């Protein structure tokens, strides 16, 4: 395990590759920000927006939303600055999973004047797939993320709206290099991201789920994209100040409700991530045990790049909050998928990376030191 020399990104992130100087892709991307010709990018996005305006149709584009900080910022920017007419699409969590804040934030988007379609996959299939994914991969979101990502292009095809606007470019802004497209804003390779490309769906079909059960979980193929002229565009490439904090600030000024739980329960320094449900926090903890970094790292890295944190301040925060997860979230999750707390920890311990952590009894202790790596 090596850390980026600038931030606290370890090279254990899937699909990442550091430069020869030991710098992570996201830091390389941000370091070039000052040289970017933002006026040129503004011209490009206005030209693109113009080419997709379709007075004969009800909508010019689709934006996938959760109601959270990125959604609000994107929706407002697209409507009020680019002057496009977006249809917002939200894949809803089942009633047991969605939070009150999540519901409030969707209402907020509607109150801001947007049309919004909610896609709600059958809750019982959702729950069973979640339980199966946790049992097989210690990752309950394996199936549900497929549904989250697939809802938008499936609706784009069904509603004949060829332009999909997406926020972050995971290749440039996170370092998931498989997603890079022909240009910095071409998002049609989003299908290669770690979440979507993690093997076939055989694990679902061999467990007895039929084709019809899984319609919501199928990301349209490259051929379908071509046939329907679907184009995904990453808006983050055009917005020099795209960040967790800036998006949260803009959105809070436009009615976003945020989380009031402490970072020691969530690893979330400002309470602005994954507002619509509580169990992504579990997955962030499990990610930490697999790869040695969690949600606090994502915050710290961004703040180091922006100059808000020194590397030392980042190390302090990451040490304290990476891998944090409230017992209450774990208990609610176990209750939902029908397992005991002992089952849960047995599964988690089975996936702990033995190169990175010591496992003694119930204790899981890191072998690495944050910012330095393995000694």
Question: Cβ closer to Zn ion: 66 or 297?
Answer: 297
Instruction: Give the Å distances, CA to CA, from 35 to 31, 32, 204.
Output: 9, 5, 47
- Selection from 303, 176, 157, 308 nearest residue 234 by Cα: 176
Distance, in Å, from the CA atom of 253 to the CA atom of 128, rounded to the nearest integer, reads 38
CB of residue 301 to Zn ion, shortest distance in Å: 6
Backbone dihedral angles phi then psi of residue 373, each to the nearest 5 degrees: 105, -155
Question: Cβ closer to Zn ion: 3 or 329?
Answer: 3
Q: Does 4 bind Zn ion (CB under 5 A)?
A: yes
Q: Give the strands of the sheet with 231-234, arranged side by side.
A: 115-119, 86-91, 61-64, 163-166, 231-234
Three-class secondary structure of residue 199 per DSSP: coil
Distance, in Å, from the CA atom of 105 to the CA atom of 257, rounded to the nearest integer, reads 6
By CB under 5 A, how many residues form the interface with Zn ion? 6
Q: Does 16 bind Zn ion (CB under 5 A)?
A: no
Site string for Zn ion, 18-37 (x = CB under 5 A): ------x--x----------
Question: Cβ closer to Zn ion: 10 or 68?
Answer: 10
CB of residue 232 to Zn ion, shortest distance in Å: 26
Q: Does 172 bind Zn ion (CB under 5 A)?
A: no
CB of residue 26 to Zn ion, shortest distance in Å: 6
CB of residue 344 to Zn ion, shortest distance in Å: 33
H helix and E strand count, the chain: 16, 9
Residues 24-63: b if buried by 16+ CB within 10 A, e if exposed: bbbbbbbeeeeeeeeeebeebbeebbeebebeeeebbbbb
| Residue choice 9, 74, 108, 125 for contact with Zn ion (CB under 5 A) | 9
Q: Does 348 bind Zn ion (CB under 5 A)?
A: no
Q: Does 7 bind Zn ion (CB under 5 A)?
A: yes
Question: Cβ closer to Zn ion: 4 or 300?
Answer: 4
Q: Which residues bind Zn ion (CB under 5 A)?
A: 4, 6-7, 9, 24, 27
């Amino acid at each position: 395990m090596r850390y980026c020399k600038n931030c606290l990104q370890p090279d254990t992130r899937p699909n990442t590759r550091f430069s020869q100087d030991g710098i992570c892709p996201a830091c390389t991307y941000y370091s070039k920000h000052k040289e970017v010709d933002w006026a040129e990018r503004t011209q490009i996005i206005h030209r693109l927006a113009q080419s997709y305006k379709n007075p004969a149709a009800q909508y010019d584009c689709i934006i996938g939303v959760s109601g959270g900080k990125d959604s609000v910022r994107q929706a407002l920017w697209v409507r009020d600055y680019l002057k496009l007419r977006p249809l917002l699409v939200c894949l809803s969590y089942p009633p047991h999973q969605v939070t009150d804040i999540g519901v409030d934030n969707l209402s907020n988007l509607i109150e801001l004047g947007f049309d919004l379609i909610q896609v709600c996959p059958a809750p019982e299939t959702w729950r069973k797939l979640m339980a199966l994914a946790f049992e097989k991969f210690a990752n309950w979101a394996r199936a549900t993320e497929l549904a989250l990502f697939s809802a938008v292009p499936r609706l784009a095809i069904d509603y004949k709206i060829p332009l999909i606007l997406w926020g972050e470019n995971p290749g440039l802004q996170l370092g998931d290099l498989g997603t890079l497209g022909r240009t910095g804003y071409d998002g049609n390779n989003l299908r290669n991201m770690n979440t979507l490309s993690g093997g076939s769906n055989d694990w679902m079909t061999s467990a007895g789920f039929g084709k019809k059960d899984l319609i919501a979980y199928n990301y349209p193929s490259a051929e379908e994209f071509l046939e329907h002229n679907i184009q995904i565009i990453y808006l983050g490439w055009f917005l020099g100040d795209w960040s967790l904090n800036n998006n949260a600030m803009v959105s809070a000024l436009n009615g976003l409700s945020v989380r009031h739980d402490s970072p020691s329960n969530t690893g979330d320094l400002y309470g602005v991530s994954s507002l619509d449900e509580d169990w992504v926090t579990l997955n962030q903890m499990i990610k930490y045990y697999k790869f040695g970094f969690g949600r606090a790292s994502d915050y710290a890295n961004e703040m180091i790049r922006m100059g808000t944190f020194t590397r030392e301040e980042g190390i302090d925060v990451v040490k304290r909050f990476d891998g944090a997860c409230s017992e209450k979230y774990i208990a609610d999750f176990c209750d939902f998928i029908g397992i005991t707390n002992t089952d849960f920890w047995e599964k988690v311990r089975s996936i702990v990376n033995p190169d990175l952590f010591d496992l003694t009894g119930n204790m899981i202790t890191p072998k690495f030191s944050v910012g330095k790596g393995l000694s």
